[in-house]
Amino acid sequence: MSAGREIARGALIYVIARVIGMIIVKLLPVELAVLVAVVSYLERLPWTLILLCAGAMFAFVSTGVLRFWEWLERRDPASKLVFANASIGLGLGRDATTGKVKSIEAINLGLHLRNHASFPISYVVDEISSSFEGRVQPKPVFDNMGGIVEMNGATEFSDASIDLGGLPIKRVMEGTLKFKLRYGREGSEKHRIDRNLKVYLSVTEEGHVQSRWNDSV
């Protein structure tokens, strides 16, 4: 079985298990309250005491289930690592006399990730590619293909630098960024983020940089 099918199968099993667990947990307070009421009735307790016991059991179990569910959610890395922004690194060429920006010598396009969990999250980049004004890095080299994002922290991962050879600046320049990554607890990176973006960049002679991005259709 391919890695993609294994991941899809594992994700499906995980979702089904969570749904079944949620149903059981949500019904548990009612089930136990009814059980207490039935036992109290069989013991011929007064109705006032039956209702009091059943209500107390419902409140006690509901609070316990809620706290337990919150604890599980805090431990689950799903949706807690997010793609926040496209990162851009520039090497600018300036006029030797005026100091004004005339060109872009090189560019790095990458991704800015944020961890909203109360624990570290590991991520692995399976694929990443970028282009800018039709130019690419034909032989990208990476020191690593992932890392650890600390709790409530952020990190950036960049594609290999693209040599633009003094590309003259203009009002709007375009690039692309495509990546596929997995994340989760270290050694169990099973959640995915896949994006295919178009990146737009504007650089003025004064060196002011503006950028925006959107998902490519």
pLDDT score, position 10: 54
Per-residue pLDDT at 200: 96
Per-residue pLDDT tens digits for 89-113: 999 999 999 999 999 999 999 999 9
The residues, any chain, with a CB within 8 Å of residue 117's CB and separated by 6 or more, are 74, 77, 80, 81, 151, 152
Query: Which residue, among 22, 15, 4, 7, has the nearest Cα to 191 in the 3D structure?
Result: 7
Question: Quick check: 131 pLDDT over 70?
Answer: yes
Is residue 7 scored above 60 in pLDDT?
no
Residue 82 pLDDT: 93
Specify the pLDDT at position 19.
Answer: 64
Instruction: Give pTM, 2 decimals.
Output: 0.67
pLDDT for the residue 47: 79
pLDDT beyond 80 at 166: yes
CA-CA-CA-CA torsion sign (14, 17, 23, 27): negative
Secondary structure letter of residue 135 according to DSSP: B
Q: Which secondary structure element, helix H or strand E, spans residue 148, and what is its range?
A: strand 146-149
Distance CA 188, CA 121 (A): 10
User: pLDDT band at 161, cuts 50/70/90?
Assistant: very high
Distance (Å, whole) CA 86 – CA 154: 13
Residue 3 has pLDDT above 90, yes or no: no
Residue 65, pLDDT above cutoff 70: no
For residue 134, what are its two tokens?
A: 């039709």
Instruction: Give the per-residue pLDDT at 112.
Output: 96
pLDDT for 1 equals 43
Could you tell me where the DSSP H helices lie in the chain?
3-42, 47-75
Pick 142 or 42 by higher pLDDT: 142
